[in-house]
Amino acid sequence: MLRTARGAIITSTLSTLVVIGGIVAAFVLAPGSRQVRSVYFDVHDMWQAFLGDPHAGFYSVGKGLVINIEMFMIGEVLILGLALVIALIRLSRSPLLFPLRMIAVAYVDFFRGVPLILVILAIGFGLPALYLPFVSSQSAFVYGVLALVLSYSAYVSEVYRAGFNSVPHSQVASARSLGLRPRTAMRYVVLPQAVRTIIPPLLNTFVSLQKDTALVAVLGAVIEANRAAEIYSSTVFNYSGYTVAAILFLLLTIPLARFTDHLIARDRARRLAGVP
């Protein structure tokens, strides 16, 4: 058994090295490899783009990533709250909430159908043009976060709704037969069971959210990582800054993706073992 496991590890390692070696060799031996490396993978330019130099006219990609993280963290909290409200409204059966349910359905359909970049452009340039008190005087950072929240809340609300609907109706009926009110049944019966279904797709959605914060760069005034890389490339005519931005985003998203895979595998193992 041990020999079989050791042999499998050796085989998988060797096959991985062969594949990686083949990809690297194909890249290095390509006719335009030297030019691509000098434009996209120049070590000096990558380091300069990461550090930045305001006196030379370009910004730090590393500091720009901090703005991406800030947008992600603020947006994540707001999305979780707004999406939950939308999901609960859509799950309600009260005739009094019928108008709100129709608004919630229209909201989800609209923001799932319109590309995120168009939402960012509409909010980032449309709201200031309205000249409304307080609303039209916010920064591009605020408009970018607002666009992300509005768009992603539509997706996350459906994740919530699918999780709630995955709980057998018999569980809810049993809770109601014990005298629990709908709110109490939701809190103590539905939510604990739905969370196991909700968390993996929720984390996958937030992996996409982390990447899509780069789209806020279209507003121009937010110097996040992608915008800083764009300014660097237009200043020194070298695209290595984009490579730095890509690497930094990978360092953020890959751990979250692996953590999501871990949760999915653990939940699957618990279900197969019959553990509640």
Residues 158 and 265 grouped into a single domain:
yes
Residues 106 and 8 grouped into a single domain:
no
- Give a yes or no: residue 210 inside a domain: yes
Residues 4 and 97 grouped into a single domain:
no
Residues 10 and 49 grouped into a single domain:
no
Domain count, the chain: 2
pLDDT profile of the chain (276 residues), mean per 10: 70 86 88 90 93 84 94 95 93 88 96 96 94 91 96 95 82 74 75 80 90 92 90 91 94 88 79 65
Residues 103 and 216 grouped into a single domain:
yes
Give the pLDDT confidence score for residue 267 in this predicted structure.
Answer: 74
Give the pLDDT confidence score for residue 2 in this predicted structure.
Answer: 56
- Give a yes or no: residue 176 inside a domain: yes
Residues 14 and 140 grouped into a single domain:
no
Q: How far apart are CA 168 and CA 145, in angstroms?
A: 36
The parent domain of residue 23 ranges over: 1-30
Residues 14 and 77 grouped into a single domain:
no
